[in-house]
């Protein structure tokens, strides 16, 4: 009887010790979800192209897929964005369609406000009938301010309500240097952004709604039974291999601005220049930025969708203690053609069973010069059930004694060192 009490006490003590020990053991590093662009912004890498010089006061080059900043010039300076603003207007129009609020085939009413708006225009008349798809063409090609106002009123009820949506979306995307006062970029002292924020906005648009590129690449289009010609204000179109967008801007206060995007062999870049003194400089600076990207960088495949990583994810309180993981998406990264070595790093969240198959349990990160430049979610390759209490108890006891004997071994080993 005494012997039984001894073992009961010993097992209880071991269990308590195991619980205390496991509660103090280090767990896998926990990471927070990363913002959509800054998962790859790697500002420490932005100076790699410091030899690139442009006349515009502000410039930026990013990898459109990962969001890596490959080169920058004063990218957080607050500037008047002019009609580059319309990237957000188009984004919210596509978003309304995606949510089922509107259809691209819907007829957009043309109000007196839209009819009277100043600046670039397609001269909309309240008696005309155009679809939402056509309004997007007017915005993207001709940079029509009137089309922006009509679209905003159609989607949100008023331009003011639409501007509220714009600022809310900017906040959601982490655009900290930005505030919108209108839908089209007409000058307003409280309407500003930065190249970095514009990069976030542009990348979001072409990533979520790539169909916009079918519109932004159009150089000319006839409307009104061939009586009116839309002419794209982006004069890099037709001059640069692979270029298919995105949006120009100009006011006296903003100068000449351009967000350009081009793709070659599946490698898409975004260039941004703000404040050029004239259109010729706007064009040449944009081409210089893109040239730097395609000449200096290459796209390298890191992992394919569904491909497994070698490290297993630790699972607490599970029937199994580990689970294999696979990549949620393809991951490519822009690396310098010379000296562009990268390191892969698996970072797992603290995950407790039960775990569903395809649940996000961590990330595969790409590190370059100690900066995370891109990442992809890692998904559980199979389901992990919660372990029974008795399984977890004996596992805890086993871990305790394993740690205990290891410590004893280390102690005696140290005596003879």
d(CA 179, CA 134): 27
Q: Point out the catalytic residue in the list 73, 86, 102, 247.
A: 86
Write out the two tokens for 395: 């596992």
Q: What does the CA dihedral 81, 83, 84, 86 come to, rounded to 10 degrees?
A: 130
Q: Is 86 a catalytic residue?
A: yes
d(CA 190, CA 311): 50
Q: Point out the catalytic residue in the list 83, 120, 193, 286.
A: 83
Q: Which residues of 150-163 are buried (b: 16+ CB within 10 A; e: fewer)?
A: bbbbbbbeebeebb
Q: Which of 166, 131, 168 has the alpha carbon at shortest distance from 150?
A: 131
d(CA 263, CA 261): 7
Q: Is 143 a catalytic residue?
A: yes
Say if residues 151 and 161 touch (Cβ distance below 8 Å). no
Q: Point out the catalytic residue in the list 56, 143, 296, 375.
A: 143
* C-alpha to C-alpha distances, 214 to 232, 257, 382, nearest whole angstrom: 13, 21, 40
d(CA 378, CA 140): 37
Q: In what side-by-side order are the strands of the sheet with 343-348?
A: 325-327, 371-380, 360-368, 343-348
**Active site residues per annotation:** 83, 86, 143
């Amino acid at each position: 009887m005494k012997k039984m009490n001894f073992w009961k006490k010993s097992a209880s003590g071991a269990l308590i010790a195991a619980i205390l020990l496991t509660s103090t053991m280090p767990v896998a590093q926990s990471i927070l979800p990363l913002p959509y662009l800054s998962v790859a912004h790697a500002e420490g890498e932005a100076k790699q192209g410091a030899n690139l010089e442009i006349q515009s006061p502000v410039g930026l080059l990013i990898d459109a897929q990962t969001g890596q900043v490959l080169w920058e010039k004063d990218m957080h300076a607050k500037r008047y964005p002019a009609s580059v603003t319309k990237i957000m207007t188009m984004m919210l129009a596509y978003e309304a369609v995606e949510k089922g609020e509107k259809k691209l085939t819907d007829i957009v009413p043309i109000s007196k406000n839209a009819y009277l708006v100043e600046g670039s225009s397609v001269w909309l008349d309240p008696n005309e009938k155009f679809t939402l798809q056509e309004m997007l063409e007017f915005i993207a090609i001709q940079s029509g301010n009137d089309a922006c106002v009509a679209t905003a009123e159609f989607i949100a009820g008023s331009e003011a309500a639409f501007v509220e949506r714009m600022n809310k979306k900017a906040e959601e995307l982490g655009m900290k240097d930005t505030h919108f006062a209108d839908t089209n970029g007409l000058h307003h002292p409280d309407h500003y952004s930065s190249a970095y924020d514009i990069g976030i906005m542009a990348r979001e648009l072409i990533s979520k709604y790539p169909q916009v590129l079918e519109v932004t690449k159009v150089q000319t289009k006839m409307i009104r039974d061939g009586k009116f010609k839309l002419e794209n204000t982006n004069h890099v179109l037709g001059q640069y291999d692979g270029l298919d967008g995105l949006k120009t801007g100009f006011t006296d206060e903003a100068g000449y601005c351009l967000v350009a995007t081009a793709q070659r062999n599946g490698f898409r870049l975004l260039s941004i220049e703000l404040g050029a003194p004239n259109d010729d400089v706007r064009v040449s600076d944009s081409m210089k930025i893109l040239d730097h990207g395609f000449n200096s960088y290459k796209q390298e495949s890191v992992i394919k969708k569904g491909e497994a990583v070698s490290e297993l994810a630790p699972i607490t309180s599970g029937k199994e203690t580990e689970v294999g993981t696979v990549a949620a998406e393809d991951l490519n990264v822009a690396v310098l053609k010379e000296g562009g070595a990268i390191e892969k790093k698996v970072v797992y969240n603290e995950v407790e069973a039960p775990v569903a198959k395809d649940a996000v349990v961590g990330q595969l990160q790409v590190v370059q010069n100690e900066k995370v430049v891109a990442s992809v979610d890692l998904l559980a390759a199979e389901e992990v059930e919660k372990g029974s209490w008795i399984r977890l108890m004996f596992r805890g006891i086993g871990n305790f004694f394993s740690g205990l004997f290891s410590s004893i071994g280390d102690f005696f080993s140290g005596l003879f060192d």
